Amino acid sequence: MKTFLFQLRNILSKNKNSSGEFQFPIRYKLLLITSIVLLVSVSGVIFLASYFFRKDSEVRVKENNIKINEILSLKVKSDLHSIRQDVHITASAIFRNTQSANGIAKELFEEDQNFVFIGAYDSSFNAKFESINENFLQKYDYQKQEVKNILKNIQPKLKKSFSGTTVIWNISPYFRNPILCISFPLSETKDTHTILVTLVKLDSLLDAFQTSGPVETFLVSEDGSVLAHPDAKVVLSGNNLNDLPIVERMKKSTVDNGQFRYENKDGEFYLASFKKLGIGGVGVISQVRETKIFEEVNNIQKRNVYLLIVFLSLSFIVVYIFAKSLSIPILKLVDASEEIRRGNYHINLHATTHDEIGTLTKSFVSMGRGLEEREKLKDSFGRFVNQDIAELAAKGKLAIGGHKKYCTIFFSDIRSFTAISEKLQPEEVVEFLNSYMSEMVKCVQETGGTVDKFIGDAIMATWGALRDHKEHAKAAVDAALRMREKLIEFNQGRGTIKKPLIKIGCGINTGYVIAGQIGSSDKMEYTVIGDSVNLASRVESLNKETHTDILVTETTYQEIKSEFHLLSMGEIEFKGKSKAQKVYAVLGRKSDPKSPKNLAELQSMVGIEPTSKKAKK
């Protein structure tokens, strides 16, 4: 440090001008500032790096605990549901054919060797049937009476199942093997006077809890006893872990998951988290000792100190050597960036070196030109969202302002879209909407229409507004029928929660609108407005009440009646209209032999619930 200050003083003394003022080049400023910043920040960097690394490690451990809990809880929950389902199916089969009870149970034991026992009891604990896995008895040298005596001893524990709850209990202490006892009512809604009891080997669950690394995971019951643990001896002993604060916290928690830092009786701190399964009060707990977490953090901290010392020494030399060659081009780049910030993209800058700084200078100039072109492009086309409109604007064929046009307006909407969205993940909603929209937009474009906008799951399109179209009404109805056909194809293979059936309603109206660019000076949009647009939207909504999928107004009807099968739905009063409007349902093309002949055939084709059933509900 003393040597550095001595050299710096010599530099300053050599850079005095005749008037005694210092001439302090930027390379020396850069060296001085860099040195001071590095020297001052060394201690701060060490402290902050250690602090944030420690915090980051803690966060990662907590996240890891949560992930492990989620994975294990899904695994355990799935296994428990599978066990319950297998037992319930077997019991139901036995009740239907009591003469073959042992044979039916034997099939279960042969299919899954983990099942030890299955039985059903009434409220007085009289056995309706009992079956024991003979292979288990022979392999582990147990007697049937021994198993029955164990079940008799734990009957008070199983009484809780008669109240409609599931009891999960570790009865390994009664055996020489890890065994889990599960009891639950035969039917939670019809018959709570009969419970099903099963004994299952814990081998698969114990394997799931054999985690590597410092994380310790275990499964506890609602009374705090161990159900699964990496150490099989703990399971066999049936230890109660209520003395662990994380277990007590889980039992008192009103939510199904949480995190907690606690100190055990030996003075060791743990980072722990829990996840309730929602079955029989069972929960998964994972915990890590803090000493294990921060052991590597402390080692890294020491290594960082040594590295900082080395890099600090090297930085003094490197900065001094390259400061001069870097400072001048960098200052020019700074001035050029300021010009760009002001909006001047014509940069008068030339590369003076053939290294990275020279390349950066050329790239900077090229970037300025690219920004200028991008700015022009953004100014010209930033107002448009429709490709057809953008192409017309680029060719100079799109006039500013609005004009009156006679055209056909189309609206479509997905039925019960909110209910569908609630059952899907956001990315799943976007994926299915993209697939659906792609097919529907093709129908619009293939018939000469223009998609005006997407309104959530709804589509607004026009025929004859942007481009002249002699048979715009016919084209719009033809597009709607194509959508119906595409939707039937789209729905093939669907019908599950993740892939629900899609039903839509379409409304079509023909009339005069104002078409043009509407918006502000910063953002404009080519669209159509007017009473005809509003009527098309309201007609689309009417499909819910009429149990149809495509409705057209009187004006559209007059232009297409010769080519399509149409069914009058009567006169409907619409908000904003002084007179009731005639509305017609589109059955199909007259040239199509498969076209529905009546409303019932239409509803059957597109999967709409018939009007009579809807009214009955």
Count the Cβ atoms, other than its own, within 10 Å of residue 579: 8
Residues in CB range of 48: below 8 A, 6 or more apart: none
Q: Are residues 459 and 542 in the same domain?
A: yes
Does 384 have pLDDT greater than 70?
no
Residues in CB range of 596: below 8 A, 6 or more apart: 565, 587, 588, 602, 604, 605
CATH of the domain at 179: 3.30.450.20
Higher pLDDT, 559 or 609: 559
Alpha-carbon gap, residue 509 to 461, rounded angstroms: 11
Residues in CB range of 337: below 8 A, 6 or more apart: 364
CA distances from 136 to 128, 133, 541 (A): 22, 5, 65
Q: Are residues 391 and 511 in the same domain?
A: yes
pLDDT digits (tens, 9 = 90+) for 240-290: 888 888 888 888 888 888 888 888 888 888 888 998 888 888 899 888 888
Per-residue confidence at 607, pLDDT binned at 50, 70, 90? Answer: confident
Last residue of a domain, one of 291, 306, 327: 291
Per the domain annotation, does 536 fall within a domain? yes
pLDDT digits (tens, 9 = 90+) for 408-434: 999 999 888 888 888 888 888 888 888
Does 11 have pLDDT greater than 50?
no
Alpha-carbon gap, residue 617 to 547, rounded angstroms: 14
Cβ density class 202-225: b for 16+ within 10 Å, e for less:
beebbebbeeeeebbbbbbbbebb
Per the domain annotation, does 37 fall within a domain? no
Amino acid at 174: Y
Alpha-carbon gap, residue 64 to 217, rounded angstroms: 12
Q: Report percent pLDDT > 90 for the chain.
A: 13
**pLDDT at residue number 401:** 64
Does 167 have pLDDT greater than 60?
yes
CATH of the domain at 470: 3.30.70.1230
Does 113 have pLDDT greater than 90?
no
CA angle 601/606/610 to nearest 5° reads 55
Q: Are residues 125 and 154 in the same domain?
A: yes
Q: Are residues 409 and 271 in the same domain?
A: no
What is the DSSP track for 183-200?
EEES-SSS--SEEEEEEE
Question: In this structure, are residues 597 and 604 in contact, taking their beta carbons and an 8 Å threshold?
Answer: no
**pLDDT at residue number 382:** 40
Q: Are residues 198 and 104 in the same domain?
A: yes
Q: Are residues 376 and 431 in the same domain?
A: no
Residue written as token pair 């009731």:
580
Question: In this structure, are residues 53 and 312 in contact, taking their beta carbons and an 8 Å threshold?
Answer: no
Alpha-carbon gap, residue 207 to 434, rounded angstroms: 42
Q: Are residues 362 and 414 in the same domain?
A: no
**pLDDT at residue number 396:** 59
Q: How many domains does the chain have?
A: 3
Alpha-carbon gap, residue 424 to 114, rounded angstroms: 35
**pLDDT at residue number 374:** 63
**Both structure tokens of 215:** 């994380």
Side-chain-side CA neighbours of residue 219 (13 Å): 31
Q: Rounded mean pLDDT of 322-335?
A: 71
Alpha-carbon gap, residue 459 to 386, rounded angstroms: 13
Per the domain annotation, does 23 fall within a domain? no
Q: Are residues 466 and 371 in the same domain?
A: no
Per the domain annotation, does 15 fall within a domain? no
Q: Rounded mean pLDDT of 104-119?
A: 87
Does 2 have pLDDT greater than 50?
no
Does 224 have pLDDT greater than 80?
yes
Q: Are residues 366 and 410 in the same domain?
A: no
Per the domain annotation, does 418 fall within a domain? yes
Domain that holds residue 496: 387-616
Amino acid at 330: I
Per the domain annotation, does 548 fall within a domain? yes
**pLDDT at residue number 443:** 93
CA distances from 175 to 34, 70, 133, 135, 448 (A): 72, 30, 15, 16, 78
Alpha-carbon gap, residue 287 to 271, rounded angstroms: 5
Question: In this structure, are residues 465 and 450 in contact, taking their beta carbons and an 8 Å threshold?
Answer: yes
Give the CA radius of gyration of the chain: 39
Q: Are residues 355 and 214 in the same domain?
A: no
Alpha-carbon gap, residue 361 to 323, rounded angstroms: 17
Q: Which helix (H) or strand (E) holds 535?
A: helix 531-541
- Give counts: helices (H), strands (E), the chain: 20, 18
Q: Which of the listed ranges 180-194, 224-238, 518-532 does the model predict with the highest average pLDDT?
A: 224-238
Q: Are residues 65 and 206 in the same domain?
A: yes
Q: Are residues 68 and 181 in the same domain?
A: yes
**pLDDT at residue number 456:** 84
Whole-model pTM over 0.85: no
